[in-house]
Amino acid sequence: MSVPDVPLSPPSDDRLTALARTGLGAEPDPAFDRFAELVRRVLKVPVALVSLVEADRQVFPGAGGLAESWQKRRETPLSHSFCQLVVTTAAPLIVEDSRTDPRVAGNPAIVDLDVVAYAGMPLTDDTGKVLGSLCAIDTAPREWMPSDLAMLSDLAAACSDTLRLRIATQTARRRESRAGVAFGRSQLLLRASVSLANTTTLDDIVSVVRELVTGSLDPAYVGVSLRDGAGRVTLRSGRTLPPTVAERWNRYPSSATTPSGLAIRLGVVVLLPDLESVRAQAPDSLGTFVEMGWQSAVSVPLPGPAGPIGSLTLVWKEPYTLDETEQAVLAALAGYVAQALQRADYLRAQKNTAEVLQRALLSELPDATPFEMAARYEPAARGEHVGGDWYDAVRLEANHLALVVGDVTGHDMGAAALMGRLRSKMRLLMVDRHEPPAALLRRLDAANQALGDRIAATAVLAYLYPDPVDGGHQLHWSNAGHPSPLLITDEGLTVLDRRDPLLGVLRRTPRTSHLRHVPPGSTLLFYTDGLIETRTTLWDDRERALCELVAGLTALPLPELLDRLYRELAGTDHEDDVALLAVRTPR
């Protein structure tokens, strides 16, 4: 191709950006095909094109009259382009015979597309940038009349208007799409703030994060890793990986070149858009990526008060490059995750402290031979995992047991502390002297009054000792407003339903003691209200359900009996703490 009158300059980035905003390419567009056909009819030419000039090719969204192969292809390399001269000069290009015109002589389009005569008018955007041309082509030499060129110029102006409208429409669609994406991202962060605020364990957090990003970023794997005090990284989401992979990365040095290790050590977002970047930046993890079929990843540090406490890692099975918005969303999500993790760590420590306190307050059962004895305590499913329910058993002398089950109002640390004080006083009174249970409870009330401890509580105190007259044993008990114990014998089940007011309410509460013969092989069950009380069922109905269940389970060993009662009546989501104490007399 010969050198044109005006030297060609490299394509402008601004012009190419404007061209991209049209959304047009080498595919037919009905609106611009109509312009091409209109030019053919008006100027009576065999070929007309709406040509847009890109960096390395020209494309024809509007075309008419091309040979079939070119009509389907709708593009040529720039070596075949007359229209690029219209773009670079920002002026019409009029050629009567391309074979003798020094501006285009030698252009391969003369032979390949049979372009002999050419008239092209600039197509511009709303800023005046020339994006291409509307051109008429003849396969024979032609003298273009002024009326032809005037008509072509008018059609080019109309085509430019359509092009500008297309740019505006595409821009509006992109803005709408970006707004939709931004709204979706903001909704994701809103859901994250709400959902993560309700998490209490690490497993909860990992599950919520996986659910949040699955619909938005759709990764193949979501990982959470934490840095421990020894400077190592611990994988906390290994349950979603094959066991061999999870074991491999269960705990490793933070110096390892893995996505998580890099994010934690450097405190920056680690972007690995393809397998080559994994090989270059995170080679220690390359084998796992190949094994799992992963190809890209991002790892975001989880911010803590003294540097990253861990990382959030997303992995894909195809190359994936995060845009700036996605990176910003993940950074914000990592902040929420870090807060949730620190809160979960605090709650875990608080729970451990509460459980240690509760175990300290509930002493081990004594050797009760020849009796069988078992007990169980379960804190409320929610709250501080500690409460005011308790059980106790003291061996006063051979074959003589003191049995207690009680409930201080509340299921938190405060209730546990009050329970500890009340239980200690009751133990001291039990070993201080032998007296009827009602007398001991009166003394307990008096001691609380004297010491200023207004502790409202329910309790059952029972003595179990041999019956020298009838054989078996005697049960001597007093009930301070507590659920009634159950006695199960070979003859059936009896509710020991005699109750006085609860502890800590009146200065001088009348209290009574009761006696009951307990045949050999009988079972006594003491429990707190958390076992059967619910907000939706009447107490009498729940007590009846307890009696029916116990009656069918008396052959079980006592630990298994208590386990069945707890699982089938209270369940794992009970709202109050539960204490159970069971004693079986020898046959």
CB count in 10 Å sphere of residue 571: 10
Q: Is residue 512 part of a domain?
A: yes
- What CA–CA distance (Å, rounded) separates 315 from 296? 6
How far is it, in rounded angstroms, from Cα 333 to Cα 187?
Answer: 12
Instruction: Identify the pLDDT of residue 212.
Output: 80
Instruction: Pick the closest to residue 388 from 421, 364, 365, 363 (CA basis).
Output: 421
Residues 312, 412 share a domain = no
How many Å apart are CA 34 and CA 555, to the nearest integer?
92
Q: Do 304 and 442 belong to one domain?
A: no
Residue 495 β-bridge partners: 486
* Domain-embedded: residue 244: yes
Residue 528 lies in a domain: yes
Same domain, 24 and 164: yes
Query: At a CB cut-off of 8 Å and minimum separation 6, what does 92 contact?
Result: 86, 119, 120, 121, 122, 149, 153
100, 126: one domain? yes
Q: How many domains does the chain have?
A: 3
Residue type, 318: E
Residue 295 counted as domain residue: yes
Same domain, 345 and 375: no
Same domain, 366 and 346: no
pLDDT value for 343: 82
3-state class of 299 per DSSP?
strand
Instruction: Say what the pLDDT of residue 192 is.
Output: 72
Q: Is 353 exposed, middle or buried (0-12, 13-18, 19+ CB in 10 A)?
A: middle
- Last residue in a domain, options 319, 350, 381: 350
Answer yes or no: do 408 and 269 share one domain: no
Is residue 559 within 8 Å of residue 374, measured between CB atoms?
yes
Asked whether the CA dihedral 209, 186, 345, 235 is positive or negative, the reply is positive
Same domain (yes/no): 549, 446: yes
Q: Supply the range of the domain harboring residue 423.
A: 362-584
Distance set, CA 275 to CA 20, 246, 317, 448 (Å): 29, 21, 10, 72
Residue 178 in domain: no
Our measurement of the distance from residue 103's CA atom to the centroid of its chain's CA atoms, rounded to an integer in Å, reads 64
H helices within 215-323, ranges in order? 243-248, 259-266, 275-281, 286-292
pLDDT score of 439: 96
Closest by alpha carbon to 116, among 101, 134, 131? Answer: 101
* pTM for the whole structure: 0.53
The CATH number of the domain holding residue 308 is 3.30.450.40
DSSP 515: E
356, part of any domain: no
Chain mean position to CA 442: 55
Residues 285 and 383 in one domain: no
Q: Within a domain: residue 501?
A: yes
Which of 350, 371, 399 is the last residue in one of the domains? Answer: 350
Domain boundary among 322, 350, 378: 350
Q: What is the pLDDT of residue 2?
A: 33
Whether 29 maps to a domain, the answer reads: yes
Q: What is the CATH number of the domain that holds 541?
A: 3.60.40.10
Q: Do 383 and 338 share a structural domain?
A: no
CB neighbour list of residue 17: distance below 8 Å, 6 or more residues apart: none
Q: Which of 397, 467, 479 is nearest to 436 (CA)?
A: 479
464 plus 431 within the same structural domain: yes
Residue 460 sits in the same domain as residue 500: yes
Mean pLDDT by runs of 10 across the 587 residues of the chain is 40 80 92 96 96 95 94 94 95 97 95 96 94 97 96 96 90 70 64 76 83 78 88 86 92 93 94 95 95 95 90 93 86 87 78 68 84 91 72 91 91 79 92 93 91 90 92 95 95 93 84 96 95 84 92 92 93 81 94
